[in-house]
Chain A
């Protein structure tokens, strides 16, 4: 693999860290994703995120039409073990997963508990495109007043997420990535409202 396990991963981490600490900020990891030369069947940026975050200490769940194949690949690359969505530390929802699969995974994901809210799932979602020109207005820590985002995927994620994160500090943190290897993070603290036209 052309990917530099030290420096490419470090650069991708800093971009992800930037995106997580400033929700609404769209970071790009194309330079790192282009160095992935395995035919994974998911976005290269997703592979970079898996290599950055996963190892033997954590578990994951892949939600995809080709779940078995993808799970085997992630396991081979990172040595992380596949698990049921209720117990998985990381859930990968790939772009071939249907809207129902996304809904199911969001509902099943572990939100942590009040003593250990950090034991919640991080969900990595592949979407068609990410942008800042959308009709979702976000506020919360990391955002100067407010920011706008556009996430081209099934519409229901906003409501399911809100339901899931109702009892802060419990909740799920989401990392969106798209086919241009952009990254957008929505931690549990971010409040999302839909802009109403009219």
Chain B
């Protein structure tokens, strides 16, 4: 079963091509690393999947449907930006998510906040950038979505919280859901990945399972990444 499918997917911004004729099939029940250097088109791909961008050519579907209200209710998206406004308290944010997403599990979110020592009565404004990112990730992972799109989920948080977050990701998604993680911090997330997609200059250069890489290339994903994208 496919959760996400891209056919001939192309996105250009003016004269710049961000993605060039990408074909990709993401099955259910996998954790996929979308790996590539800065500016390779990772975020563009994820934004196309969320419907924030519209393809220039080709198509992208989630569970067989083009991005829209239907797909947005079953994909959980963590943007690279902190998209939470400053004036709300964490509690109010929980209510906001509960209001708009039927699959949001408030108890789960409250437990995770407790684990990370975040006070639900604090305003976002008073928090550090890292704490805001944690709150955002907790909100996103407390939904039981069918597809998680995580754009640079661990960029701004400390290594201790990183472990907790990765653990959260692998323990929180449903069996038939998939998680796409875009990052260049490969070493940190390598142990949780099932599959990898290498992307470079808007083109997919390699898709493979992590096991395959270890067997055929006899090295870690991080090692292979450094070799492939050597400057």
> Is chain B found bound to chain A in the same assembly?
no
Residues of A within 8 A of B (CB): none
